[in-house]
Amino acid sequence: MQADAPIGVFDSGVGGLTVLRTLIEKLPREHTIYLGDTARVPYGTRSGETVTRYALLCARHLAAHGIKLLVVACNTVSAHSLTALADALPIPVVGVIEPGAQAAAARTRGGAIAVLGTPATVASGAYQAALRRLAPLSSVVARACPLFVPLAEEGWIDGEIPRLVAERYLSDLRRAADTVLLGCTHYPLLARVIAEVMGPQVALVDSAEATVQAVAALLEARSLLRTGSSAARHGTLCTDLPDRFRAVAERFLGRPLPSVELVDLGTFSHS
Ligand code: DGL
């Protein structure tokens, strides 16, 4: 595998751009190729089997682009499908659960951690299991907050409506947690509202930075960090509605996307 090959990043849609943004900031020399499965989003309200079926299609498509490493930016996929992806691909696969749980375990003071995620992520128990292993003395409560995803995509991240939704999901956790793990790609966009509802004593942890650190360490250990001095290239693919993807993407990526290519992942095969 060549150090010059791109890093593949995928998510169910635009949300994983929050991880890509950190990746580009921290590893600016790396070429990247991002795939958002906008034809099948959301994943977070589906069964684990369906999520894995979709994830394998995405991963194989990116692998065919000659990527050197796959970042699974989607928490729902990381929670359900990481082993299936690692078994299917000949390259390293990095998910967000383990790095996110490590960051929360390092951050908590009193050992009370609230994990927020999609219904599928919470139901998988993946964050809860990782935190029990990494911080055995902590108490962990997990809460599904499905309405945060459409709110973030609509750009309704401030004001009365997201505030009421956050109150409804989180008000009873106010005294139950000193650390909140944002276990979904979209939730960092709602960080301000979540922080307001949870109160100033609560630390918010986002897995993006810890995931990028894991990627950097893995590439370094395998001598796969890109050293070339030419400008890094960033490709973006999606499976439906590229114009809507571009319009929403800027909010997640923090800058405009030059172009988005529409791709067809075909159908699932067990081979
Ligand atoms: N990307 C998903 C996650 O992080 C959220 C959006 C979805 O449900 O597909 O879990």
87 lies in the same domain as 103:
no
Instruction: Answer whether 183 contacts ligand 1 (Cβ < 6 A).
Output: no
Q: Establish if 121 belongs to a structural domain.
A: yes
Structural contact between residues 95 and 70, judged by C-beta atoms closer than 8 angstroms: no
Three-state secondary-structure class, residue 4? coil
> What is the rounded average pLDDT of the residues 207-232?
95
Q: Establish if 123 belongs to a structural domain.
A: yes
Percent of the chain with pLDDT over 90: 92
Structural contact between residues 107 and 179, judged by C-beta atoms closer than 8 angstroms: yes
**Structure tokens, 268:** 């699932």
Q: What is the pLDDT of residue 267?
A: 66
166 lies in the same domain as 264:
no
Q: What is the pLDDT of residue 258?
A: 83
User: For residue 268, is pLDDT > 60?
Assistant: no
Q: Establish if 230 belongs to a structural domain.
A: yes
> What is the rounded average pLDDT of the residues 192-211?
96
User: For residue 271, is pLDDT > 50?
Assistant: no
Q: Establish if 1 belongs to a structural domain.
A: no
- Residue-range definition of the domain harbouring residue 53: 7-95+210-268
User: How many angstroms is it from 181 CA to the middle of ligand 1?
Assistant: 15
102 lies in the same domain as 200:
yes
Q: What is the pLDDT of residue 270?
A: 45
The reply to whether 74 belongs to the active site is yes
The reply to whether 238 belongs to the active site is no
Q: What is the CATH number of the domain that holds 189?
A: 3.40.50.1860
147 lies in the same domain as 84:
no
Mean pLDDT of the chain: 95
- Number of structural domains (the chain) is 2
User: In angstroms, how far is CA 193 from the centroid of its own chain?
Assistant: 19
90 lies in the same domain as 101:
no
119 lies in the same domain as 249:
no
Instruction: Answer whether 80 contacts ligand 1 (Cβ < 6 A).
Output: no
Tens-digit pLDDT profile for residues 92-118: 999 999 999 999 999 999 889 999 999
Q: Establish if 124 belongs to a structural domain.
A: yes
Q: Work out which ligand 1 atom sits closest to the CA atom of 120.
A: 10
